[in-house]
Structure 1
Amino acid sequence: MPHNYFDTDVAATYDEGSPEMFAPEVLGPTVDLLAELADGRPALELAVGTGRVALPLSERVPVHGIELSAAMVAQLRAKPGADRVEVTIGDMTSTRVEGRFGLAYLVFNTIGNVTTQDDQVRCFETAAAHLEPGGLFVVENGIPVLRRLPDGERFSVFHHTDEHVGVDEYDTATQLMWSHHYSSDDGGATYRRTSVPFRYVWPAELDLMARIAGMRLRERWADWDRSPFTSTSPKHVSVWEKISG
């Protein structure tokens, strides 16, 4: 079982750390597109977390979640409508649940929480194992910022206030990165640090993982609003289809 970086203390404040992800202009298009792709069929969310997406989506299609952190699920269970979302505690690289789904999805860069290439492939295999033929797997993931780093630079600041400084650290030899968070309760006089590892991955690499798992690329957009994906897009929303037979 992989290390759980989203235990009690992190889970208790997880939603507060990304309030922008709950904004209607962000969450609305996400749920709309997933509901359309599900087309009335059951959906499976890998790394369901605190239910940011699963709860509103479950108003439109049946949703089952897989989640490693029981503390994150406890946060989900405290929210209205939680009884609509069945959750299995387990590792999304290996856990299996009963039934077949028309849609599986993984949002908000969470594929990067899986820190080896082999396990990222297993994540795709988990999705494919639960999909009916023609079912869809959707991944939302950022594009690594390496092209914007000066030669030899390893660090990129992604957030900076008196209360929080966020710095990503990149190792191009291993495709590993670490998000370092420096948080302060006294306006910046003192900080406490937490660090979480990730493995960054390019869209083309994800396409190969999908092929290994028996899926092929159907769509790729820059965001949930179906805007075109280009060489300057900071993230992508990709859809792979399980090959029949």
Structure 2
Amino acid sequence: MTTEAPRQRATAEDSSAYGESLADVYDSLYPASGPAVDSMVAFLRELRPAPASLLELGVGTGRLAIPLARHGYRVHGVDASPAMLAKLHENDPTGEVTTSVGDFGALAVDERYDLVLTALNTFFMLPTQEQQINCLRGIHDALADGGAAVFETYNPQVYHRLTEATTRVGHLAPDALLLDTIQVNQSLQSVLVVHTIMDSGRLRKVPEVSRYAWPAEFDVMARLAGLRVTGRWADWDRSPVTDQAEKHIYVVERQSV
């Protein structure tokens, strides 16, 4: 079932192209079950328990939204890619998650949510600081009284310290290979990852561009949007942040008047 809860201006062409290109292999890249998903669900259940309402930005194929709905959350997902959402509905045949197509960087909502989730580096896929601040402003307006927004991002140190192009190889299936080529522009805080997928004799390339924000910068952008960071951890298990951490988990709430 598709609803029109958050109204969107569908201008995220890059995000849409990324999703359209990877929708058929996305579930292989990011499995919808396992310890990572379980720990995320446990984190959110402690933060705001079900049956809280939850808006996921960049919902993809439902890797997180579907388990959350099955744990009693009322979940709506936004994504720029119709192909991603079509795959989500295949994965969710009972229609527990409602969706809409749109640009989460220009978010405007009619409903307010107890939780807003932006997982798996999605926030960094907004390519400019201005767009990231606009997204935070939209999240501010989307939060219900007492609500919280949760962000999962990579630790900028992971990429910022790369001074040369780097290649990583992964296996999608017995007959499918993923080759990632990573280039970093430190002055622009920009990362270009070219995903090369080789399967069944076919080869395709999918570019992914992200703009990372340092923790202090994220704090300032949140404040400009009327929000404040109330927690930061290195993973869903609430482990402390270190320079070696692979990711950051932020919890953000509205500023007190």
TM over 0.5: yes
Deviation track 1:18-58 (CA, whole Å, cap 9, x = no partner) reads 33xx3421110111112322233211111111111111111
Structure 2 letter corresponding to 1:159? V
Distance 1:170 1:29, change over 3 A: same
Alignment match of 1:115 (pick from 117, 127, 142)? 127
- Note if 1:42 corresponds to 2:53: yes
Structure 1: state its 5+ residue gaps: none
Matches within 5 A, 1:69-218: 69-80=81-92, 83-144=95-156, 145-146=158-159, 148-149=161-162, 153-159=163-169, 163-185=177-199, 192-218=204-230
CA distance in structure 1 between the partners assigned to 2:180 and 2:28 by the alignment: 15
Deviates more, 1:176-185 or 1:215-224: 176-185
Distance 2:195 2:92 in 1: 30
Cα distance in 2 for residues equivalent to 1:69 and 1:210: 26
Name the amino acid aligned to 1:165: L
CA distance change for structure 1 residues 53 and 120 in 2, over 3 Å: closer, same or farther? same
Q: Give, in angstroms, the shift of residue 147 of structure 1.
A: 5.4
Structure 1 residue matching 2:116: 3-state secondary structure:
strand
Matches of 1:107 and 1:223 in 2, distance apart? 12
| Residue in 2 that maps onto 1:26 | 36
Q: Conserved in 2, the CA contact under 8 Å of 1:42 and 1:61?
A: yes
Q: Residue deviations 1:52-95, cap 9 Å, x none?
A: 11111112211111111111110111123551212121110113
In terms of fraction of residues, the more strand-rich structure is 2
Match of 1:55 in 2: 66
* Number of residue pairs matched by the alignment: 238
Partner secondary structure for residue 223 of structure 1: coil
Aligned identity (percent) is 34
Q: Which runs of 5+ in 2 are unaligned?
A: 1-10
Contact 2:18 2:208 in 1 (8 A): no
Matching residue of 2:236: 224
Q: CA deviation at 1:146?
A: 4.3
Paired AA for residue 37 in structure 1: L
Post-superposition shift, 1:5?
A: 2.3
Inter-CA distance 37–183: structure 2 relative to 1 (3 Å threshold): same
Aligned equivalents of 2:234, 2:120: Cα separation in 1: 13
Offset at 1:240?
1.0
C-alpha contact 1:183 1:193 (8 A) present in aligned 2: yes
Task: Give, in whole Å, the separation in 1 of the partners of 2:33 and 2:62.
Answer: 14
